[in-house]
Amino acid sequence: MSYKVPRFILKAANAAVSAVILFALLVSGTYAAFALWDNGQIYTEAENVREDMIQIKPEIDESEPSGGADFDEIRSINPDVRAWLTIDNTKIDYPVLQGENNLSYINTDVYGNFALAGSIYLDSRNDGAFGDRYSLLYGHHMADGNMFGDLDKFKDREFFEENGTGLLILPDGVYRLNVFACLVVNASDNYIFGPAAWRDDITELLDYAAENALYIRADAVRSLGQSENGKIIALSTCSSEFTDARTIVLAEMSAYLSEE
């Protein structure tokens, strides 16, 4: 003898299932809205810090042939500021910090506050005065181009070929920057992420860049290879090509000469 479930029980069960589904949708919708808001806050805070810093960006002393700038004001905010980095035709226009280790500023802003966007910072193994022949900088990849998000632009051949100049401003001098290579490497790449290996000789690093770059300016590589004092600065950020991928932009550091 078959048993027929009463209709009111079926209605109650359907109502319960519908309520559970509705609750799940409300929870997921609320979480999605919060995630969007939280993500927006991260980008807003990063942009606000950038705008604050640009107001006190050290100005180059054009009366000195080698440049140089007054860092007193910005170092009163944070004495770990080592330089100021600008890459033309990008949003990269930031102070460069250096902490005791490479986690010091990964999620800390120039004010010393916790910030997921972090700061642009120099590898703790490098000379803080940029005396090494190879200096390595890190910055988070942000979708709006802030921090080092705009390094993505150099993975476009046309942009790479038409852009690539910038400045590295120090208290006692200035370097002109000329991008000569763009690579995508693994985060464990010893050539890129082992700055101590290239303090005295960058020949092998240049060979590696020539063999592995997406795009490269061969004339700049030859010039650096022939120079006994040539210097390179590397800019590193996360990338999406594969797990632990990093976008690397290499630039030649050349002496600044005042145009006055």
- Concatenating the DSSP letter of every residue in 139-150 gives --B-TTSTBTGG
Q: Where are the beta strands (DSSP E) in 89-196?
A: 93-97, 120-122, 134-138, 165-170, 173-186
pLDDT at 28 over 90: no
pLDDT in tens, 31-51: 444 444 344 555 577 788 889
d(CA 36, CA 33): 5
Q: Between vectors from CA 188 to CA 88 and to CA 139, what angle results, nearest 5°?
A: 30
Point out the least confidently predicted range of 58-62, 93-97, 122-126, 237-241. Answer: 58-62
CB 56 within 8 A of CB 74: yes
pLDDT at 247 over 50: yes
Q: Which two tokens stand for residue 22?
A: 């509705």
pLDDT at 209 over 60: yes
The pLDDT value recorded for residue 39 is 43
Q: What is the mean pLDDT of residues 251-255?
A: 94
Residue type (1 letter), 156? D
The pLDDT value recorded for residue 35 is 40
166 versus 16: which is more confidently predicted? 166
The pLDDT value recorded for residue 139 is 97
Point out the least confidently predicted range of 94-98, 218-222, 249-253. Answer: 218-222
Residue type (1 letter), 181? A
The pLDDT value recorded for residue 9 is 63
Identify any residues that bridge with 193 across adjacent strands, giving them in sequence order: none
Domains of the chain: 50-255 (2.40.260.10)
d(CA 237, CA 152): 9
pLDDT at 155 over 80: yes
The residues, any chain, with a CB within 8 Å of residue 173's CB and separated by 6 or more, are 66, 67, 68, 256
The pLDDT value recorded for residue 95 is 97
Q: How far apart are the first and last CA of the chain?
A: 104
Average pLDDT of every residue of the chain = 88
Q: What is the mean pLDDT of residues 214-222?
A: 94
The pLDDT value recorded for residue 50 is 84
Question: Cβ–Cβ contacts within 10 Å for residue 54, how many?
Answer: 13
Residue in the block written with tokens 């944070």: 78
Question: Cβ–Cβ contacts within 10 Å for residue 121, how many?
Answer: 25
pLDDT in tens, 89-116: 999 999 999 999 999 999 999 999 999 9
Residue in the block written with tokens 């006692």: 172
103 versus 2: which is more confidently predicted? 103
pTM summary value: 0.83
Label residue 8 by pLDDT band (50, 70, 90). low
For residue 86, CA distances in Å to 4, 89, 131, 178 come to 77, 9, 19, 11
Label residue 13 by pLDDT band (50, 70, 90). low
Identify any residues that bridge with 204 across adjacent strands, giving them in sequence order: none
Residue type (1 letter), 201? D
Q: Between vectors from CA 190 to CA 112 and to CA 193, what angle results, nearest 5°?
A: 20
The pLDDT value recorded for residue 176 is 96
Torsion of CA 137, 257, 166, 100, to 10 degrees: 20
Among the listed residues 105, 226, 244, 81, the one whose alpha carbon sits nearest the alpha carbon of residue 168: 81
72 versus 26: which is more confidently predicted? 72
Q: What is the mean pLDDT of residues 66-75?
A: 89
The pLDDT value recorded for residue 49 is 86
φ/ψ of 167, rounded to 5, equals: -140, 145
Question: Cβ–Cβ contacts within 10 Å for residue 46, how many?
Answer: 22
